[in-house]
Structure 1
Amino acid sequence: MCVSGTTVPCPENRFVNQTRLSTAPVDHPGHRRHRDAPSRREGGSSVLPPSIDAPLPTRKGAAHPPVRGSLEDLAVRGHPWLWFPRALEAQFNEETLAVRRRFLLICCLLGMLGIWFGTTQARLAMPDITSRSLHLVDTYLGVLVACVAAVMITPRAWRRVWHFESVVFLCATGLNLIMIWAASNSRADGAYTQSAMVIGPVMFVCIAARLRFAWSLVCALVTLLGYMLAMRGHTPAQQTVIDSIIKLQVLSYAYAVVASYTLEYRERRNWVLRKLQEQHRGALQAASERLRHLSVRDPLTGLYNRRQFDGDLMAACQAAAASGEPLALLMLDVDHFKRYNDAYGHPAGDACLVRVAHVLARVAEAHGGTAARLGGEEFALVLHGRHGPGARAVAQALCEAVRAEAIEHGASATGPHVTVSVGVALATGAGGAQPQALLGTADRALYQAKDEGRDRIVLMPVDAEARPRLEQPADDAVGVDAGAPAEPAESPYLRAIDKGLWGLRFDGDLERRYRKHDLDDRRKLLGLTVMVGMVLYNLYLFISQDMFPDISATVLQTQIGLSAFLVAVAWPVYSRKRLAPMLYEGVFCGGTSLVAIVFACVLSQSRETTTLAYIICLVLVPMFSGVGARQPFRYTCVPAVITVVAVVLFFKPVGPMQEMVYSRSVLQIFNITVFTLILSYSLELGARRTWLLGQIDRLQSEALHQTTERLRCLSVQDPLTGLPNRRQFETDLLRLWREGAQDHHPVGLLIVDVDFFKLYNDGYGHPEGDRCLQRLGGVLREVAKRHACLVARLGGEEFALLLPGGTAAEAQALGQAVCQRVREAAVEHRHSRVARHVTVSIGAASLWPRRIADRHQLLKVADKALYKAKTAGRDRVSVVDEERGQAVSSRDLTGGPAASAASA
């Protein structure tokens, strides 16, 4: 028995990465159908652990293309039409309903407040129709209030997202149509300048209210078409203003609709990714939980394995030492189990151990104990708070329950049925006991019970001197905490989210990481935006010359020269990599601010009233910075503030008409700039949150994957030797059998049994027996690596070697190599009846999967060969060659002089 409590690294197996993990729950040993029984579809009959067939979830690719319309499909293909399949669309709307409803209610109230404010401005711009327009606006406001009230009192079960979407849409679209109607029926010059206010509501619903793209698009199109059809100027100057406003509407609406599409697409994309992350995380957590369960369970019996037992025993000793309560450890051994295997075969022996494990599990559950399989036919039961009489009563109940199973054992010298011997170690008092002392005492008590005739119980108290201070368990002992855990890697990101992102700045090193995470992409985007922006801006100036006829040549010359200067400055900056992020953003911010200053200064030289209406186009400067180039909010504020200040400082209107037009233009510039800053803030807030969540998800997924991989290794690893365990062996056998049937090649199997290992344990003790098995495991691992085969520990002193494509001759050569290497290891065995060192007997078989459907037949044939080798004198290889599915020959291959002498 391994008394150190340490865990061996994940076994080096060249096929281990192909292992797939079961999604089926692991049954408790007490269930009627044991989890190690082969499934009906596999057609097996022997008691073997199931293969681990279900794949782990993975974030990179998939074995099969995703189902069309699923979350995986949407994540891969995208959703450019902003619509999910019916079921996902309903789920998306349901999960976003509450937040959208509150947000749109606030936007609707703000929109109605804006309508009221707009009517006060209309009195000055359109004095000839004020009474009619005010009456119409009041009526419309009343209708909106009624709609909002109706939606608010709608029962929860009837609420839909589109209810408030439609109210906000009606608020903006109705207001625009009323303004267009009023301006088209007025002859005042101010009415045409005032008509530019139709840009504001569309910007509001697209950016501030984040109306769904379909509603935003309809709102923009209805407003634009209504304006183009209804507005006609009564003078050339009025028509020039109308044409300019139409151009500005096209640009502004295109910008607003694209922003609406982007915002909705990002919202839907984030929802899809978040749902996928929840699915992946749930699947990984479920897989980790299953693997954790498998990693602490014995593959054959389903009881706790030795790894978990060591941790539980340490925890029990610590608790007993702290509370002063007694602690009992029961160790039981199936009497004459070696003879049982020899008489009935290993498959029947496995079935016997499973039934004994069921009994032990029932007794442990009834008496509040913890049961485990230590290895081979040895089991243990930890009992808390039990003195001698209580522990004896539990042991007696266990012995009687095993007898009641009436498992036939004709080779037993104790009785006709399977019985068990039990050794009980008792630790009492506040001093507690060391796990090592408990194990040693229980082991001595067990051997005393066996020496006295078996099928009995021996109690033995732990010596007082065997109670030193409790040591801490190994760090990787399963089920026991090993000190305070380190802070998770995602903690800084979680703290940033908890602190809030409203300041748009992280603390310390987190801000530097955020700035550098997409630095190269930002450099390319800013450089491209400079080039495209200059082309579009100059083109817009060229087609708008009628608005400033007195200085059009000066404006064009100045703008072309400024564009050339900005390109000359930006090119060397954005063509160089690894500059500071602040430099990239600062150059763009300074360039847009310079454009606003120069353009406002040049336009202020004009004396035309239409120029004062045209200056609304200056809002494109901050719009281009904050939305087109996606600059951070604080960088967007600079050109936004500079644009508004430049318009206020440079322009000096002359006369009441110019003052009215100027005031309308400044108001529009201010409103649209505010919307731009809102959108810029929202975009950066969303980008920072998305980055934080992405980093958290990445780090948590990595940690979960590492934990899952570690548990996967533990679930297919023998705790003592570090070799693959019975569970992994069954998986490899199934895979090789399928490959052999597909590729038409045989599969070879060697079952290795340590000769007279029971005598070794009796003579040297179980700790030395465990060390012997560890050394043999290292020998077998070395041989398997050299001969490109798979090795596993089946249980107790039995090991297996799988030989892909192995014929009988190759299995024979491999068996001889194993025997030779074991002899060369020269592990002393004074109690052996074959040699003075440890030897092994090997049963080998080679079958063709295309001829035989049941892979377990290979195990049966190899098991028969093993007993033939043991019957013939041990320390040899017995090979069974079943060419074409029929037995042809059986050869006993004795190795070494020592074996020959012993046989003689």
Structure 2
Amino acid sequence: MSTYSRALPPAQRTVQPTGPASRDEVATATEQFNKSWSRLRFPAALEHQFVNDCAPRRLRYFVLSSLLSLFVFNGFLLVDYLMVPDVFWLAVKIRLGMFTPFAIIALVSVWLLRDKMVTQIPTLVGECLVVISGALAAACLAYLLTNSRAATSQYYHVGLMVVIMYGNVVQRLRFWFAVAFSLTVYAIHIGGVMMVPAFNPRLILPIALLIGATMVFTLMANYALERDERRQYLLSLRRKHLLQDLGEVQQRLQQLSRMDTLTGLFNRRHFQQYLEQTWQRAQYDQTPVAVLMLDVDHFKQYNDRYGHPVGDQCLMQVAHAMQDSLRRPGDLVARYGGEEFIAVLPGADKDTAHQAAERIREAIIKQGIVHEASATAAMVTASIGVVSCRAREGVQEQDLIAAADSALYKAKQAGRNQVVSLSL
């Protein structure tokens, strides 16, 4: 991609919004914009954001297109030589000796100050620079024509059409600046004609119509381009909001894919991923990892006696008891399936893990959930299997789950409502 194409103005390259425009502001602006063809400006806050977002690209394009236009401007020395040969050397002085140095100094200054112009200097300064440079180019041509006595000099007034196209189409001034610029150039043309008493009256109207038509048509194009640019900007804002919504939905879906919808705990899938990561870190740090597996005692009988909705409430209370009892950084509790819960305690040795399991068991008892169908107690209780292992070669994270399940089985066999700990 060429340097020129990378610097195309915003209508060809959609400006990416960076500001904090709200959905309501964008919706209101879109409705107003679509309702009236004559409306260009957005509401004040959104207009400010639009101008600031467009400023960097417009500034780069202004500098590059101005440099190219400067070559074209000086290339018209050939036309000067052919149409106004009597003032050719005056044209050389004006174009190369006066206008070009001024333009180069201005462009270099703009480029060196581009960061400040984007962030500190009002962006309308750039529009004013285009108007001033174009008006000066028109004034240079008018001055040459008023000083020439060549028969073809009067036809050269149509050269102002090129100047109008420069401001309205090439530089794509904001519409009302383009209107002011076009009227300024047209006024320069009228002034130039009035300063030549011998101007052929049969040429006045045709040339005026040609320049006027160029002004009208380029302003129509300018208006359509700016309106399209603004429409694309609104679409970009809406797309940005839609992408934000999509990101939030994806994040929510990802979160839901890791969560148990009933208890709000993590699910088995996420637990296994977390345990794998924890085990890998523990192998590197040579630290222990503990796994707790919990089963609600006689939960089938609880469901049969009180019904599944009450059973769900019971599981939620057990989940809260586990979460409230495990508060160390890195501890993670998950629902493993049915009435089984599981937890991983990074860095916990056998004694620490056993104490944590006892806190959980006692917290469940303290909740006082009545369980008249239990053969163990008159309230809901839980059996917990605990295993702790220092990470080492030859032991996998799945071995911890299997060992915790084995310890849980022993707790049930020993009469339930107790904690059994094992080591690997």
TM-score (norm. length: structure 2): 0.72
Matches of 2:161 and 2:69, distance apart in 1? 14
Which residue identity lines up with residue 295 of structure 1 in the other structure?
S
Bigger helix share? 2
The answer to whether the 8 A contact 1:425-1:438 is kept is yes
Q: How big is the shift at 1:305? A: 1.7
Aligned to 2:211: 249
- Kindly report which structure 2 residues correspond to 1:16-165, keeping only aligned pairs within 5 A, or say none: 69-70=27-28, 73=31, 81-104=39-62, 125=84, 127=86, 159-165=121-127
- Decide which of 247, 254, 260 is 1:298's aligned counterpart: 260
- Kindly report which structure 2 residues correspond to 1:514-663, keeping only aligned pairs within 5 A, or say none: none
Work out whether 1:204 is the aligned partner of 2:184.
no
1:516-542 Cα distance to aligned partner (Å, 9 max, x none): xxxxxxxxxxxxxxxxxxxxxxxxxxx
The answer to whether the 8 A contact 2:318-2:364 is kept is yes
The answer to whether the 8 A contact 2:52-2:118 is kept is no
The answer to whether the 8 A contact 1:321-1:431 is kept is no
1:12-44 Cα distance to aligned partner (Å, 9 max, x none): xxxxxxxxxxxxxxxxxxxxxxxxxxxxxxxxx
Matches of 2:260 and 2:417, distance apart in 1? 25
Which residue identity lines up with residue 91 of structure 1 in the other structure?
Q
The answer to whether the 8 A contact 2:56-2:118 is kept is no
Which residue identity lines up with residue 267 of structure 1 in the other structure?
E
Indicate how the Cα distance of structure 1 residues 386 and 76 shifts in structure 2: closer, same or farther if over 3 A, else same.
farther
Aligned to 1:61: none
The answer to whether the 8 A contact 2:294-2:341 is kept is yes
Matches of 1:366 and 1:379, distance apart in 2? 18
| Secondary structure in 2 matching 1:366 | coil
Q: How big is the shift at 1:441? A: 3.8
Aligned to 2:340: 378
- Kindly report which structure 2 residues correspond to 1:481-492, keeping only aligned pairs within 5 A, or say none: none
- Decide which of 167, 176, 201 is 2:129's aligned counterpart: 167
Q: How big is the shift at 1:332? A: 0.6
1:674-711 Cα distance to aligned partner (Å, 9 max, x none): xxxxxxxxxxxxxxxxxxxxxxxxxxxxxxxxxxxxxx
Bigger Cα displacement from structure 2, 380-389 vs 309-318: 309-318
Aligned to 2:395: 432
The answer to whether the 8 A contact 1:133-1:182 is kept is no
Indicate how the Cα distance of structure 1 residues 76 and 298 shifts in structure 2: closer, same or farther if over 3 A, else same.
farther
1:318-367 Cα distance to aligned partner (Å, 9 max, x none): 66678876543311122344555566665554444333222322444416
| Secondary structure in 2 matching 1:274 | helix
Matches of 1:400 and 1:75, distance apart in 2? 65
Q: How big is the shift at 1:291? A: 1.7
1:561-615 Cα distance to aligned partner (Å, 9 max, x none): xxxxxxxxxxxxxxxxxxxxxxxxxxxxxxxxxxxxxxxxxxxxxxxxxxxxxxx
The answer to whether the 8 A contact 1:137-1:178 is kept is no
Indicate how the Cα distance of structure 1 residues 285 and 192 shifts in structure 2: closer, same or farther if over 3 A, else same.
same
Indicate how the Cα distance of structure 1 residues 130 and 316 shifts in structure 2: closer, same or farther if over 3 A, else same.
closer
Matches of 1:80 and 1:122, distance apart in 2? 41
1:167-205 Cα distance to aligned partner (Å, 9 max, x none): 211221243245336535654313213323212222222
Work out whether 1:289 is the aligned partner of 2:246.
no
Q: How big is the shift at 1:161? A: 1.8
The answer to whether the 8 A contact 1:172-1:201 is kept is yes
Indicate how the Cα distance of structure 1 residues 129 and 325 shifts in structure 2: closer, same or farther if over 3 A, else same.
closer
Which residue identity lines up with residue 449 of structure 1 in the other structure?
A
| Secondary structure in 2 matching 1:188 | coil
For structure 1, list consecutive stretches of 5 or more residues without a partner in the other structure: 1-64, 463-904
Aligned to 1:361: 323
Q: How big is the shift at 1:143? A: 9.6
Q: How big is the shift at 1:284? A: 0.5
Indicate how the Cα distance of structure 1 residues 380 and 421 shifts in structure 2: closer, same or farther if over 3 A, else same.
same
| Secondary structure in 1 matching 2:153 | helix
| Secondary structure in 1 matching 2:328 | helix
Matches of 1:108 and 1:284, distance apart in 2? 41
1:254-299 Cα distance to aligned partner (Å, 9 max, x none): 5543443344334333322222222111110011111211221112
Bigger Cα displacement from structure 2, 368-377 vs 141-150: 141-150
1:417-445 Cα distance to aligned partner (Å, 9 max, x none): 5432101245564112363x544443332
Matches of 1:278 and 1:69, distance apart in 2? 13
The answer to whether the 8 A contact 1:323-1:430 is kept is no
Aligned to 1:219: 181
Matches of 2:198 and 2:183, distance apart in 1? 26
Q: How many residue pairs are counted as aligned between the two chains?
A: 395
Aligned to 1:409: 370
Aligned to 1:309: 271
Which residue identity lines up with residue 183 of structure 1 in the other structure?
L
Aligned to 1:179: 141
Indicate how the Cα distance of structure 1 residues 70 and 137 shifts in structure 2: closer, same or farther if over 3 A, else same.
farther
Matches of 2:156 and 2:376, distance apart in 1? 109
Aligned to 1:28: none
Indicate how the Cα distance of structure 1 residues 410 and 358 shifts in structure 2: closer, same or farther if over 3 A, else same.
closer
Which residue identity lines up with residue 191 of structure 1 in the other structure?
S
Work out whether 1:265 is the aligned partner of 2:224.
no
Indicate how the Cα distance of structure 1 residues 426 and 268 shifts in structure 2: closer, same or farther if over 3 A, else same.
same
The answer to whether the 8 A contact 1:331-1:442 is kept is yes
Indicate how the Cα distance of structure 1 residues 180 and 327 shifts in structure 2: closer, same or farther if over 3 A, else same.
same
The answer to whether the 8 A contact 1:321-1:433 is kept is no
Q: How big is the shift at 1:115? A: 6.8
Matches of 1:430 and 1:324, distance apart in 2? 10
| Secondary structure in 2 matching 1:333 | strand
| Secondary structure in 2 matching 1:381 | strand
Q: How big is the shift at 1:458? A: 1.4
Matches of 1:258 and 1:338, distance apart in 2? 79
Work out whether 1:333 is the aligned partner of 2:303.
no
Work out whether 1:189 is the aligned partner of 2:148.
no
Matches of 1:119 and 1:83, distance apart in 2? 40
| Secondary structure in 2 matching 1:329 | strand
Q: How big is the shift at 1:457? A: 1.1
Indicate how the Cα distance of structure 1 residues 113 and 293 shifts in structure 2: closer, same or farther if over 3 A, else same.
same
The answer to whether the 8 A contact 2:33-2:39 is kept is no
Q: How big is the shift at 1:455? A: 1.9
- Kindly report which structure 2 residues correspond to 1:707-786, keeping only aligned pairs within 5 A, or say none: none
Matches of 2:124 and 2:231, distance apart in 1? 20
The answer to whether the 8 A contact 2:296-2:382 is kept is yes
1:459-484 Cα distance to aligned partner (Å, 9 max, x none): 3456xxxxxxxxxxxxxxxxxxxxxx
- Kindly report which structure 2 residues correspond to 1:444-455, keeping only aligned pairs within 5 A, or say none: 444-455=406-417
TM-score (norm. length: structure 1): 0.37
For structure 2, list consecutive stretches of 5 or more residues without a partner in the other structure: 1-22
Matches of 1:256 and 1:194, distance apart in 2? 20
| Secondary structure in 1 matching 2:333 | strand
Indicate how the Cα distance of structure 1 residues 89 and 343 shifts in structure 2: closer, same or farther if over 3 A, else same.
same
Indicate how the Cα distance of structure 1 residues 313 and 226 shifts in structure 2: closer, same or farther if over 3 A, else same.
same
Which residue identity lines up with residue 275 of structure 1 in the other structure?
L
Indicate how the Cα distance of structure 1 residues 367 and 284 shifts in structure 2: closer, same or farther if over 3 A, else same.
closer
The answer to whether the 8 A contact 1:423-1:444 is kept is yes
